[in-house]
Amino acid sequence: MSEDRKPRRDGVANRTRIINAAAKAFRDDGLTIDMRTIAEAAGVGVGTLYRHFPTREDLLRTVLDTDLAEFSAVGLPAHLAAIEGLRTFALDALHALHANRALADLLAGSAPSEAELARCLTHLTEIGEQALTRSAVDHTLAPDTTPEDIAFLLLSLIRVAPFVGHADPDELSRRIEVTLRGISSSPRDVQPRRS
Amino acid sequence: MSEDRKPRRDGVANRTRIINAAAKAFRDDGLTIDMRTIAEAAGVGVGTLYRHFPTREDLLRTVLDTDLAEFSAVGLPAHLAAIEGLRTFALDALHALHANRALADLLAGSAPSEAELARCLTHLTEIGEQALTRSAVDHTLAPDTTPEDIAFLLLSLIRVAPFVGHADPDELSRRIEVTLRGISSSPRDVQPRRS
DNA sequence: CATGCATCGGAACAAATGTTCCGCTTGGCT
DNA sequence: AGCCAAGCGGAACATTTGTTCCGATGCATG
């Protein structure tokens, strides 16, 4: 007399298989991957896919909310000076974008979702505020810096991410370094240029 | 007895009408505008459109090569110091992107054309070289700057272009300023932050 | 073990969009 | 003026991709 019977075992199994397959597909092939391909990768018919996720949008949100939440959960590393924290944050962000093409499409692409990018900018501004708070103590950021300055520099880095070679770590740090000089209090005493 | 007779007046007229309409359509609505809409805007049937441009790609190249060439023809303003020249160049570039959505899609979007962006990067690197040559005299750029540094900072600006408000000129200069500090020899003695 | 409903698979539908086809029109030539 | 090929318009075709439909299947229940 249970109000609703126990869910079928193959049902829940399929759901997780779909989520896993979709996550991998989005990660590897970006936002443009189509529903048939995802269904096939999950070893499932499109009908089944649509039973679990009534809309492409639903699937995308389910899968990407995890990634985005993870991405947005990262704050400034606690033990570092403001400028160091930003450096680390930027490096992590670029690595995340490199490892997840859907994320890259979403944040460095044509802005298919105005909303997501707004959310991202808000988060970056919060990071900026954290950094400025910390800089009030360690003075590693230029005194006239605003949270928006920081947010935009980080966004610049995110949006050029697809064009900086991840093969060469030096290249990566150089791009971050030169960009962050815009808000550093001692922009010149760091990192000589590579040969 | 002429090998080929004179082209029909309506033919050439249509061609220019198509080019003008397409240019405006791409400028206003971006790369996603479809052929029917362009044909309609030109006051012409799709058949006619395809008679003059066998492929969407052909039309795009014809129209955008003009814009891209124009965009790539701009060098550093002659009479300015290196850093000033870059400032002006960046400002012009951002204005151009704001006035031409197709250009913005192409350079700040998902990179539908890897080739165009590579060409753009090459051009920006040349700009960087010009600036460095000039800085050898006026020393307005940091001594350890490379052409790639300059190219990437300019590309960053280009790729965040859709997110900086063009309504507020102060906002615009601030973004350029903070970004260019990364390669300026005297990054701190400029432009106080807005209230 | 029999039943019935949730779930499944994938063919079919719908909409968007690049492209082709073809009968009609029209401007250039004689 | 009359011929006729170049040019025209837009219906129709092809492909892609999101979504729906429905007969077949198989798990939870009694």
Give tens-digit pLDDT for A67-78.
888 888 888 888
Closest-CA distance of chain A to residue B29, Å: 13
Query: Is the pLDDT at A48 greater than 90, yes or no?
Result: yes
B195: contact with A, CB 8 A cutoff = no
Q: What is the pLDDT of residue A18?
A: 98
Kindly report which amino acid residue has its CA closest to the C1' atom of nucleotide D30. Answer: A1
Q: Identify the band that residue B82 occupies on the pLDDT scale cut at 50, 70 and 90.
A: very high
Identify which of A159, A178, A180 has the shortest CB distance to residue B183. A178
What is the C-alpha to C-alpha distance for residues A174 and A105, in angstroms, rounded to an integer?
Answer: 23
Query: B141 forms bridges with which residues in the sheet?
Result: B184
Contacts A163 to B, Cβ<8 Å: 117, 121, 152, 155
Nucleotides on chain D that have an atom closer than 7 A to a protein CB are 6-12, 16-22, 26-30
Closest CA to B184 of B131, B133, B148: B131
Q: What is the pLDDT of residue B3?
A: 64
Q: What is the pLDDT of residue B2?
A: 54
Residue with tokens 């000039």, as numbered in its chain: B134
Contacts A164 to B, Cβ<8 Å: 152
Q: What is the pLDDT of residue B10?
A: 93
Q: What is the pLDDT of residue B187?
A: 60
Kindly report which amino acid residue has its CA closest to the C1' atom of nucleotide D17. Answer: A34
The 10s digit of each residue's pLDDT in A105-146 is 999 988 767 788 888 999 999 999 999 999 999 999 999 999
Q: Identify the band that residue B35 occupies on the pLDDT scale cut at 50, 70 and 90.
A: very high
Contact, A143 CB vs strand D, < 7 Å: no
Phi, psi of B141 (to 5 degrees): -110, 150
**pTM beyond cutoff 0.95:** no
Supply B56's token pair.
């969407």
DSSP sequence for A33-95? --HHHHHHHHT--HHHHHHH-SSHHHHHHHHHHHHHHHHHH----TTS-HHHHHHHHHHHHHH
DSSP conformational letter for A162: G
Mean pLDDT computed over A150-174: 95
Length of chain B as a residue count: 195
The 10s digit of each residue's pLDDT in B152-162 is 999 999 999 99
Q: What is the pLDDT of residue A188?
A: 62
More confident residue, B34 or B187: B34
Contacts A162 to B, Cβ<8 Å: 111
**Closest residue of chain A to B109, computed from CA coordinates:** A110
Query: Is the pLDDT at B195 greater than 50, yes or no?
Result: no
Q: What is the pLDDT of residue B77?
A: 87
CB contact under 8 A, B152 and A178: yes
State the DSSP H helix or E strand holding residue A120, giving kind and residue range, or none if neither: helix A114-138
Name the average pLDDT for chain B.
91
Q: Which nucleotide is nearest to A43 (CA to C1')?
A: C9
Contacts A153 to B, Cβ<8 Å: 178-179
A181: contact with B, CB 8 A cutoff = yes
Q: What is the pLDDT of residue A125?
A: 97
Q: What is the pLDDT of residue A2?
A: 53
CB contact under 8 A, B152 and A175: yes
To 5 degrees, how large is the angle CA A22–CA A27–CA A29?
A: 90
